[in-house]
Structure 1
Amino acid sequence: MGHTLNLHHDTFQEPERSETITELLKQAGGCVVTDGGFATQLERHGADINDPLWSALCLITMPHLIRTVHKEYLQAGASVISTASYQATIQGFQSRGLSTKEAEDLLQTSVRIAQEERDSFWKEYQNKVRAGTAHAGLYQRALAAASVGSYGAYLADGSEYSGDYGPSMTVDKLKDFHRRRLMVLADAGPDLIALETIPCKLETQALVELLAEENLRVPAWISFNSKDGTNVVSGDSLSDCVALADKCTQVRAVGINCTPPRFILDLIQAVRK
């Protein structure tokens, strides 16, 4: 899942490891390449992920394919790889009969797999540089981002592309849904947390409040999706969502994903205002 990101908070006190994003952008001349569609690559390798867990199903059934996809994106030049946890939730794993501990272990496994593949690839590349069989500067040491999808992604009913969670949904309910997953992923030690495909202002508020309440010492980015080039998919103003994110010191960047390319330039300009 590729992203267009805009860096924020240069003047704020930075949480631990927040310099990783800033330094990566600096080393890359202001532009880095993230990995692409994770589920698409898994399916190309024969994975059947027609399941509410989507690509996270492979954490249970085919973790070796997750390793393969990470390696392929690293070889292709990705400077940020995302864990296979976008649709991985404690509630979702429990619905398949797993215990809370088993669910939390799988979340941490998603981070560990990404880190191990990143470290293995980087070590192999450095050895090739020393041996004179690869050019120095061809690759950067990639960051491992713990991917966190929206509540709608867990529902697997398309609401991640509408933001329609019903009239009874509240900020507190969304915080209760996300809290433990965020804490478990952060404890696994990723370089950053990627809050992805956030479709509405309500969930944006829940996530930024949660990051602050739990004082997570891992920098985050938050990316939104849009279908009109002005608002997020719920119809809420993108600018309002960005303003919420901009008040949170843990959020180091905001971005756009899962959005028609023709809208990207206007959305970037709106974010920068």
Structure 2
Amino acid sequence: MLNSNPIEAILQDHEIMILDGALATELEIRGCNLDDPLWSARVLLENPELIYQVHLDYFHAGADCAITASYQATVDAFLKRGIDENDALELIKKTVYLARRARDNFWREEGAQKKRPKPLVAASVGPYGAFLADGSEYVGNYGVTDETLEIFHRARMHALIEAGADLIAFETIPSLQEAKVISRLVTEFPHTYAWLTFTVKNEKEISDGSLLAECVNVLEENKQIVAIGMNCLPVSITTEAITNIASYTKKPIIVYPNSGETYDPKTNKWHGLKSADRFDVKSEEWFKAGARIIGGCCRTTPHHITELSKRWRPSVELSDS
């Protein structure tokens, strides 16, 4: 039997649940070199306390949920780095421990005295394409079997759940095939809740060309997947994407767009201009379209989350990070 849905508990008392913003690009701002197949998981090896500090800063900014540094932390990737399987699994668990410690310290020191929900820890599970480290998470046509995807995801999921994450965040999923595999895999962990967010090529299609509406329908009957949506999409198409799926799901819709810049996987660089639209202003539009869980993805910062918090939680006095 499932325990109580942690997202539902927050949305019963608040209009929206506020996510954190970017982790990896925030680590880069703070001096980390992430030009590495491990991406943000490299910092687990070199400076894990900085990950803790970023989580803490987002809680101070008003986030109701931290997304862990496990997006690209996989057994296969660590094995390639010469780290054995047991140590790899412990590093994956460490991503949850860091976020939980930040959450618990924040809550003990000041959070519990404020009119806000106790934050959650969502364990990030990135797509198979992220492990390939060639931009495949923005295309989605991997050319691998369902079994390959199951084996790839299962061990990490088990480790993250065992470490005590409140739920799993399957994010940046570009493939309908992978979404179907994930939906089946979640049922192997019957006490676990999850959300799943897709990458999109436009407001109607995910990255592999499948219709967003079809993708939502595939997940709708899975009671363990408690929110569906999109992440790392441009602000410019976010409202239309929400509107496009709102009539196909009764689950809370989750969106966390990027800054508006474009990522080039060949150079590992972001190009173009950041969106001129403020997140707090756009979030009202997203809420009216049907979104109930809102945060930021790549190149967003604690400042963006502060903007959201001031708009949606005006009675909460935010502390300096």
TM superposition score category, shorter chain reference? 0.7 to 0.9
Residue number among 197, 213, 218 corresponding to 1:223 in the alignment: 197
Instruction: Tell me which residue corresponds to 1:23.
Output: 9
Secondary structure of residue in 1 paired with 2:17: coil
What is the identity, as a one-letter code, of the residue corresponding to 2:3?
E
Residues in 2 aligned to 1:62 and 1:28: alpha-carbon distance in whole angstroms: 35
Residues in 1 aligned to 2:73 and 2:86: alpha-carbon distance in whole angstroms: 14
What is the identity, as a one-letter code, of the residue corresponding to 1:15?
L
The ranges of structure 1 where at least 4 consecutive aligned residues each deviate by more than 4 angstroms after the TM superposition are none
User: Does 1:125 pair with 2:110?
Assistant: yes
Instruction: Tell me which residue corresponds to 2:315.
Output: none
Residues in 2 aligned to 1:122 and 1:27: alpha-carbon distance in whole angstroms: 18
Contact persistence 1:186–1:216 (CA under 8 A): no
Instruction: Tell me which residue corresponds to 2:126.
Output: 149
User: Does 1:81 pair with 2:81?
Assistant: no
Give the TM-score, by structure 2 length. Answer: 0.74
Q: How does 1:29-178 map to 2 (within 5 A)?
A: 29=15, 31-126=16-111, 129=113, 136-137=114-115, 139-166=116-143, 169-178=144-153
Residues in 1 aligned to 2:33 and 2:50: alpha-carbon distance in whole angstroms: 11
Instruction: Tell me which residue corresponds to 1:6.
Output: none
Residues in 2 aligned to 1:227 and 1:115: alpha-carbon distance in whole angstroms: 34
Q: How does 1:173-188 map to 2 (within 5 A)?
A: 173-188=148-163
Secondary structure of residue in 2 paired with 1:193: strand
What is the identity, as a one-letter code, of the residue corresponding to 1:73?
Y
**Per-residue CA shift, 1:50-83, capped at 9, x if unaligned?**
1001001111111011011001111111111011
Residues in 1 aligned to 2:54 and 2:189: alpha-carbon distance in whole angstroms: 32
**Per-residue CA shift, 1:124-150, capped at 9, x if unaligned?**
1057x4xxxxxx31x431100000000
Residues in 2 aligned to 1:126 and 1:227: alpha-carbon distance in whole angstroms: 38
Contact persistence 2:203–2:244 (CA under 8 A): no
- The 1:112/1:234 distance shift into structure 2, 3 A limit, reads same
What is the identity, as a one-letter code, of the residue corresponding to 1:112?
Y
Residues in 2 aligned to 1:91 and 1:97: alpha-carbon distance in whole angstroms: 10
User: Does 1:198 pair with 2:185?
Assistant: no
Q: How does 1:253-272 map to 2 (within 5 A)?
A: 253-272=227-246
**Per-residue CA shift, 1:5-53, capped at 9, x if unaligned?**
xxxxxxxxx72242x1101122222x12111110111111111111001
Residues in 1 aligned to 2:49 and 2:190: alpha-carbon distance in whole angstroms: 30
Residues in 2 aligned to 1:89 and 1:26: alpha-carbon distance in whole angstroms: 34
Contact persistence 1:227–1:260 (CA under 8 A): no
Secondary structure of residue in 2 paired with 1:227: coil
Secondary structure of residue in 1 paired with 2:40: helix
Residues in 1 aligned to 2:168 and 2:217: alpha-carbon distance in whole angstroms: 19
Contact persistence 1:143–1:191 (CA under 8 A): yes
Identity, in percent, stands at 40
- The 1:126/1:231 distance shift into structure 2, 3 A limit, reads closer
Residues in 1 aligned to 2:223 and 2:25: alpha-carbon distance in whole angstroms: 33
What is the identity, as a one-letter code, of the residue corresponding to 1:121?
F
Contact persistence 2:111–2:118 (CA under 8 A): no
Residues in 2 aligned to 1:87 and 1:216: alpha-carbon distance in whole angstroms: 24
Instruction: Tell me which residue corresponds to 2:287.
Output: none
Post-superposition offset of 1:164: 2.0
Contact persistence 1:190–1:218 (CA under 8 A): no
Secondary structure of residue in 2 paired with 1:54: coil
Post-superposition offset of 1:272: 1.9
Secondary structure of residue in 1 paired with 2:215: helix
Secondary structure of residue in 1 paired with 2:228: strand
What is the identity, as a one-letter code, of the residue corresponding to 1:155?
L
Residues in 2 aligned to 1:106 and 1:248: alpha-carbon distance in whole angstroms: 30
Contact persistence 2:24–2:40 (CA under 8 A): yes
Residues in 2 aligned to 1:194 and 1:184: alpha-carbon distance in whole angstroms: 14
Secondary structure of residue in 2 paired with 1:97: coil
Secondary structure of residue in 1 paired with 2:170: strand
